[in-house]
Amino acid sequence: MTFHAESPATELGPGQRLQPRHPIVPTSSVLQPLGTDDVRISGGFWGDRQQLNRKTTIPHAEEWVERMGWAANFDYAVNGGLPQKRRGREFSDSEVYKLLEGMAWEIGRSADAELDRRFNALARRVALAQESDGYLNTMFGRPGQNPRYSDLEWGHELYCFGHLIQAGVARARNGGDDLLVHTAIAAADHVCREFGDEQDLRTCGHPEIETALVELWRLTAAQRYLDMARMFIERRGRGGLGKIFFGQEYFQDEITVREADTLRGHAVRALYLSSGAVDLAVEDQDAQLLDAVEHQLRNTLARRTYVTGGMGAQHEGESFGADFALPPDRSYSETCAGIAAVQLSQRLLLATGDPLHADTVERVLFNVIAAAVAEDGRSFFYTNTLHQRHRGQVPPADQPSHRAASGMRAPWFDVSCCPTNLTRTLASLGAYIASTDATGLQIHQYVPSTISATTQAGQQIEVVVETEYPFAGGVTCKVVQAPEGPWTLSLRIPQWAAEARLVLPDGSVLNAGPGVLRVPVSPRTGESIELQLPVEPRWTRADPRVDAVRGHVAVERGPLVLALESVDLTYGSADADLREREVSEVVVDARHPLRESDGVVLVPVRYVDHHDSQWPYAGSQGGLPAGQDSESREDDDADPAWIPLIPYYGWGNRGPSTMRVWLPVD
- How near is the Cβ of 405 to a second copy at its closest, in Å? 6
Sheet with 39-41, strands from edge to edge, namely 39-41, 449-454, 460-467, 474-481, 528-532, 500-503, 509-512
- How near is the Cβ of 635 to a second copy at its closest, in Å? 19
Tell whether residue 608 is a contact of a second copy (CB under 8 A): yes
- Work out which of 63, 200, 484, 629 binds a second copy, going by CB under 8 A: 629
Q: How many residues bind a second copy (CB under 8 A)?
A: 79
Instruction: Scan residues 411-470 and list those touching a second copy (CB under 8 A).
Output: 414
Contacting residues for 243 by C-beta, under 8 A, at least 6 apart: none
Tell whether residue 545 is a contact of a second copy (CB under 8 A): yes
Instruction: Scan residues 546-575 and list those touching a second copy (CB under 8 A).
Output: 546-548, 550-554, 556
Tell whether residue 496 is a contact of a second copy (CB under 8 A): yes
- How near is the Cβ of 24 to a second copy at its closest, in Å? 23
Q: Contact at 8 Å (CB) between 599 and 537?
A: no
Stretch of 152-160, 174-182, 215-223, 607-615 contacting a second copy, by CB under 8 A = 607-615
Tell whether residue 600 is a contact of a second copy (CB under 8 A): no
- Work out which of 143, 619, 632, 635 binds a second copy, going by CB under 8 A: 619
Three-state secondary structure along 1-44? CCCCCCCCHHHCCCCCCCCCCCCCCCCCCCCEECCCCCEEECCH
Tell whether residue 238 is a contact of a second copy (CB under 8 A): no
Q: How far apart are CA 91 and CA 272, in angstroms?
A: 16
- Work out which of 132, 617, 632, 635 binds a second copy, going by CB under 8 A: 617
- Work out which of 84, 199, 288, 614 binds a second copy, going by CB under 8 A: 614
Contacting residues for 57 by C-beta, under 8 A, at least 6 apart: 373, 377, 378, 419, 422, 423, 426
- Work out which of 485, 506, 618, 632 binds a second copy, going by CB under 8 A: 618
* Structure letter (DSSP) for residue 98: H
Beta-bridged to residue 322, according to DSSP, are none
Stretch of 16-24, 132-140, 532-540, 635-643 contacting a second copy, by CB under 8 A = 532-540
C-alpha pair distances (Å), 155 with each of 69, 80, 139, 173, 336:
19, 21, 8, 29, 19
* Structure letter (DSSP) for residue 398: S
Instruction: Scan residues 373-412 and list those touching a second copy (CB under 8 A).
Output: 387, 389-390, 402, 405
- Work out which of 40, 125, 148, 298 binds a second copy, going by CB under 8 A: 298
Stretch of 66-74, 108-116, 645-653, 657-665 contacting a second copy, by CB under 8 A = 657-665
- Work out which of 144, 458, 507, 616 binds a second copy, going by CB under 8 A: 616
Q: How far apart are CA 315 and CA 331, in angstroms?
A: 7
Stretch of 175-183, 226-234, 426-434, 611-619 contacting a second copy, by CB under 8 A = 611-619
Q: Contact at 8 Å (CB) between 493 and 513?
A: yes
Instruction: Scan residues 240-279 and list those touching a second copy (CB under 8 A).
Output: 245, 247
> Hey, is 186 helix, strand or coil?
helix
Nearer to a second copy, 56 or 540 (CB): 540
Q: Which residue pairs from 238-244 have beta carbons closer than 8 angstroms and sit at least 24 positions apart in sequence?
A: 238/201, 239/201, 240/152, 240/201, 240/202, 240/203, 241/152, 241/153, 241/203, 241/205, 242/152, 242/153, 244/153, 244/154, 244/205
Stretch of 131-139, 424-432, 464-472, 542-550 contacting a second copy, by CB under 8 A = 542-550
Instruction: Scan residues 317-376 and list those touching a second copy (CB under 8 A).
Output: 321-325, 327-330, 356, 359
- Work out which of 77, 96, 281, 542 binds a second copy, going by CB under 8 A: 542
Instruction: Scan residues 125-164 and list those touching a second copy (CB under 8 A).
Output: none
Q: How far apart are CA 509 and CA 497, in angstroms?
A: 16
Contacting residues for 247 by C-beta, under 8 A, at least 6 apart: 254, 265
Nearer to a second copy, 519 or 641 (CB): 641
- How near is the Cβ of 440 to a second copy at its closest, in Å? 26
Q: How far apart are CA 400 and CA 420, in angstroms?
A: 14
Q: How far apart are CA 351 and CA 297, in angstroms?
A: 14
Tell whether residue 621 is a contact of a second copy (CB under 8 A): yes
Tell whether residue 294 is a contact of a second copy (CB under 8 A): no
| H-run or E-run covering 317 | none
Stretch of 100-108, 120-128, 203-211, 622-630 contacting a second copy, by CB under 8 A = 622-630
